[in-house]
Structure 1
Amino acid sequence: MGKEPSDLSALTPALWRLIGLQGLMNASHFMAMPLLALHCATTLGMSPTDVGAVLALYFLAARVTPVVVAPLADRFGLWPAVVGGLVLRGLGFLGLAFAPSATGAMVFSAALGLGTSVYEAGAYGIIGAQPAARRDRLIVVNAQALNLGCVAGPLAGAGLAVLDLSLPLVLSGLLFVALAGAAALERAEELRNHARQDVAGSYRAVFGDRAFLVLCLALMPWWALFAQLFAAFPLEATLRGGSAGWAGSVLVVNGALGFLILFAVPPLMRITGALGLLVLSLAVGGAAMALVGVIPGLIALLVLVGLFTCAEIAVLAGSEILVGRHADGRAVATYFALFNMSWGFGGALGGAMGPLVASEANSGTGWMLLGAGCGAASLLGLAFYGHLIRRAPPAAAEAPAG
């Protein structure tokens, strides 16, 4: 592995435009997403079960369909997937803003998730296809852009929600459509051209990588915890703060702290290695989630959200670097698709459980069981993954350089 670049000169203007698109995309997404459960429950009058179904469908569509979508993007084009995904996400949010029924909301939620799937197949395919040293740096800078969006979006959404809970969804949908129009005008060869992959060959490469498959399975329980940033945490903040405006505070804390924590991720990974940092982060994140059920108060909740964020950011950056190194330039979008599939199953479970975990009738036991149980399950899975890579160490097991 190459040395970590001392500056960002390795990133070209076209890649910087991609990073800018990622930041704006995330700002638009998080303008609306933290308020989706509240919008469905209050504006649309849906039951907790239906709200959970809407969230579960989003995660399933966003994280499971890539296993079909991504090989097609690898074969036919990554940048067209970026443009098409932005259009679908815009239509999904606009539909959710005015859904006439619970069934309609579920349909638009699935469209929103499919748009996420298509978009990420293209965007992460481009990121993962970069040369190794540039790729590791790009993954970290990309995560920082995403976290900046995660700060700006919820702040805008919280302000708009004071006027009307559906307004953030409307503006988010319009912004996604505008971003799609701008992306359609992009002509940089670096973004539009890529080595086309045979669909069957993409599947053979991914499903033949046993250690990678174990890594995906090991992280599934963790994604159930991650889903609470959009499900239980915003609802819990609303209960403790007494206002829907507090729902976005969870993502503001997450985004602001996440941006700063990413500066510490590369040096920490050089010390612990990617797997060591994942193990530490899973333990911290699971404990933070469990403590929500023990410690009352809004300020305490936001402190625990901050602690969970430190763990979550390290897991996201570290796992994406591992995925890129397992792929090593082969069928990159498909590798990230299967990674997202594990995210989808775990996130769907967490999304369905979130409204129940954060309900007023819950004494806090749900938080403790969710945090401790899912954290322990992922740690056990990573122990098996570590056993596999010790027997046949891949490049992905090395301490990342950037």
Structure 2
Amino acid sequence: MRVFKLFFKMIKANIGAVISSMALIIFSVIIYFAVDLGSATNTYEEAKVDLALNIEEASPLIGEYDEKANIKTGLVGYLANYVNYKDVGDNLEDAMYFAIVNGELRLPSKMYEKIVAGEQVEVEFYTIFADESVFAPVKQAINNYLSTFELIYNENNALGLDVSEVSVAAKTLEMLSENINDVIVHRQIDEDTFSTDAYFNFASYVIINAMFTMLGPILLNLSQKEILDRIHASSYPSKKVTGELILSSAFVGILSIVFVLAVLFALSPGLLTNFKTIYMLINLILYTLASVLVVLLFSNIITQASLPAIANAYSLTQSFLIGAFIPRFLVSGVLDTLGHVFPGYYFISNNHLIANKMNVGFGDLYINWIIMGGFIVGLSVVIGVINRLKLRKNV
């Protein structure tokens, strides 16, 4: 328990840094999110699905749907009653990750020819999420359109009337325009626009910064030669030194998590009863432990004078590369790849999965949790080796 006692004596000696770091956590998140807070209402709005559009043939201009519409442009125009089309360019994966779109609508080629031949037309939805229930209203609308188009084509063909693609598409749109509301879904508008994943994403920056501010000076003091000599003279095992350092630092990390949750409760109490918030809390604990170990590692290889610069450089670089400050799809491919070296990358990846998937489960999150666990184990081993070498050097 000697390292424990020494550690907490130094916390007491550096209480100013601890208090300022806790204040940073509180005021940063309050200022960042205060503008988003509001009061809930019981009003409703149409719940449209955000989709990118992929058409194998020449893409029609979204919005230009008149009497000259063919089967494909007519379908795209009809679905505009249920879909918000968004142009995400080549960044579809990132756009889905950041909930800019729910997925991509993929229309096949030769749709009219397939209906004429009596074949089934397959319209696909591409998404990274296993739960596709969000597409249900759109799928129903597509089925309504295609079945109506086929019905009109068959009736006109049997009566010897015009069965040209443009003519059938126009009659289909005219018939469907009378019952558009049949498959429109409405959702309750909640004016409390507080975003849980954005909160925890921003907390990733605050926590790593707070860990450097609180733990950095204490750990650097513990690394001084005089203290190492005293520990070695007491014949205290190096494994115990490392273990107690990690546990003591983890305690400070858990204290930071408590403050993060306290601020979350103050800003939006109802979120703490949300099951998804529990997943985010587990995610945050793993990230915080990894962050504590990152600071422990740096404290073994940097000086007191370089601490502020290293703290700012690391926390800001990590936050920009992992998507804590800006959406990942705005980050170039090379920089996004570099972001994988930070534990925060996997923390934020899980945050977006938790926030944007309707029925999230352990199976969706465990890979990133295993990777963060790998960071924790790997950093612990490296820190243990460094501490052992330091103690031997001071024999």
Scaled to the shorter chain, the TM-score interval is 0.3 to 0.5
More strand per residue: 2
Structure possessing the higher relative contact order (Cα contacts under 8 Å, 6 or more residues apart): 1
Higher-Rg member (1/2) = 2
Task: Report the TM-score when normalising by structure 2.
Answer: 0.34
